[in-house]
Amino acid sequence: MFQPHGHSAHRDTFARDNLPPRDLWPEMDYGVLPALDAYPNQINVARDLLDAHVTAGFGDRPALHFNGAQWRYAELQARANRIARVLVEDMGLETGNRVLLRAPNNPMLVAAWFAVLKAGGICVTTMPMLRAGELVPLIDKAQVTHALCDAALAADLGEARKSAASLRAVMLFSADGTGARALEQAMAGKSASFDTVDTAADDVALIAFTSGTTGGPKGTIHFHRDVLAIADMFPREMIAIERDDVFAASPPLAFTFGLGALVIFPMRYGASSVLVERFGADTMLDTIARYRCTGIYTAPTAYRAMLPKVGGYDLSSLRVCVSAGEHLPKATWDAWHDVTGIELVDGIGATELLHIFISAAGAAIRPGATGKAVAGYEARLIDGDGLPLPPGNEGRLAVRGPTGCRYLADPERQKGYVLDGWNLTGDVYRQDLDGYLHYVARSDDMIISAGYNIAGPEVENALLTHPAVQECAVVGVADEARGQLVKAFVVPTSEAVGDAVLVKSLQDHVKATIAPYKYPRAIAFVEALPKTQTGKVQRFRLRDG
């Protein structure tokens, strides 16, 4: 069993016990940068990201903006402390317990995230659009014991709880903490002080789930030290955050992309962020103008959607725009630069490595290229045998650095992601003679649409529960607006009619079965699916038309 270098505060050792065997971990070096090498053996990131600012006299600085209101660092700390007391004193949380967090991007979700860490728990933040049937395997996989949930999302969690044996305590809250839900009522009687638990640097801080192309959900394990490390690499080198910066981002906090952009990065440097529960092009632009945002994080799809509307908003405060979540086409980079004068900072990250590990900023940007390894990481391309390729070649991307893949209770998947100490991201890249990496394609069947990772087999499973579907296959096809489009090829049953009515029926069925953003936006009815002699569907033939 893995033993933390510092003194572990976790009485519940489930997460530590379910780390992959140490010899299956990627090589992880925390000594590659001076800031990382100086980390102590005891770290609780709630102390570093939140408490430290109040202690240093910056408690009156803004931390969060939401619906025109503002939470200052001291206010956020007080709420997080009260929630931590509720977790420990009323809900029976023990250190090391896993806590499900379920909400759109709002202040109470951030306060709950800090509260769990302060109390020595482990955060398991979930996408707000997940249905009950999708929550149950996550809860079971992580053996979640407690949940804090936005009241607006209570129905699916309530349904999931019927089948989730490990989940023993749930409390609901309102978005801004001003409601009369159970959590707010319990908080009202608690002190605003709380002694943040002294966790080990490599005690588990969070389990982030990422979709796989096959099988069940994958839980990626990250330590307190990992969370601090990502804050001291990409944003320090590429963004140069200052206290007066204000950031907005479209990804949910359940995505580590959104968690870094809105919480970890700005709060490492005493800046603030704007939380918006639902983002669209107009909402993003209005948010930038209204709150005088200096930085935004979103997917290329969103930048394309904003382009025709930019002229109607004052974006003069904006100095940095980060693009990640899917491939950034050069045409999108050029168009955004032409309209705004801002050079998009492209990046690629992965839930397995927590955040962005390849990027470029400022004079180092080359439109059309993702960039080079962020300081602290190494990247190389490998061939089919795992051997490194020199610049000028195309191959599989392999990365290593201070963060890396550790799947929860899944050694077989761990073997597939880590090779000779390197993380294999599932992406194919080309490296030019100057060392810049250019995205080519995904090497698996994951569909990346508008920044969301969508597993084709999961959509197929949902479609197959419709009575009119005999067989189906789901693939990603190129799309100018979304990067990739989820397309389903359906063999209808003999009594079904493959028409527009059935298309809508199938789409509505998928939306009701799994998260709505996963539904097939294109459906083609076919007499048969292309298959091998052994009966495997040849998805490449469907993708290639």
Amino acid residing at 536: K
The pLDDT value given to residue 215: 56
Q: Convert the pLDDT of each residue in 446-475 to its tens digit.
A: 788 988 888 887 888 799 899 999 889 999
Is 539 within the bounds of a domain?
yes
- Eight-state DSSP code of residue 316: T
Is 462 within the bounds of a domain?
yes
Q: Convert the pLDDT of each residue in 25-47 to its tens digit.
A: 999 987 778 878 889 999 999 99
CB atoms within 10 A of CB 436: 20
Is 477 within the bounds of a domain?
yes
| Closest-CA residue to 234 (of 46, 38, 376, 45) | 376
What's the domain range around 480? 446-543
The pLDDT value given to residue 372: 98
Is 219 within the bounds of a domain?
no
Is 142 within the bounds of a domain?
no
Residue 383: pLDDT over 60: yes
Helix (H) or strand (E) holding 390: none
- Distances in whole angstroms, Cα of residue 452 to Cα of each of 119, 136, 393: 31, 21, 28
CA 499-305-351 angle, 5° bins: 90
Q: Convert the pLDDT of each residue in 253-272 to its tens digit.
A: 999 999 999 999 999 999 99
Is 233 within the bounds of a domain?
no
Q: What percent of the chain has pLDDT over 70?
A: 98
Is 512 within the bounds of a domain?
yes
Overall number of domains in the chain: 1
| Closest-CA residue to 541 (of 466, 450, 473) | 473
Q: What average pLDDT does range 5-17 have in this prediction? A: 94
Q: What average pLDDT does range 153-178 have in this prediction? A: 97
SS3 state of residue 63: strand
Tokens representing 41 are: 């053996």
Residue 534: pLDDT over 60: no
What is the residue whose two structure tokens read 């899917």?
326
The pLDDT value given to residue 6: 84
The pLDDT value given to residue 440: 84
| Closest-CA residue to 42 (of 79, 90, 92, 7) | 7
The pLDDT value given to residue 5: 76
The pLDDT value given to residue 527: 94
The answer for 119, left when phi > 0, alpha when psi is -120 to 50, beta otherwise, is alpha
Ordered DSSP codes for 144-202:
--EEEEEGGGHHHHHHHHTT-TT--EEEEE-TTS-S-SHHHHHHHTS-S-------BTT
CATH number, position 470 = 3.30.300.30
Identify the weakest region by mean pLDDT among 30-39, 202-211, 232-241: 30-39
pLDDT band for position 477 (50/70/90)? very high
Residue 326: pLDDT over 60: yes
Q: What average pLDDT does range 217-221 have in this prediction? A: 94
Is 482 within the bounds of a domain?
yes
pLDDT band for position 535 (50/70/90)? low
The pLDDT value given to residue 213: 41
The pLDDT value given to residue 264: 98
Q: Convert the pLDDT of each residue in 503-519 to its tens digit.
A: 999 999 999 999 999 99
Residue 301: pLDDT over 90: no
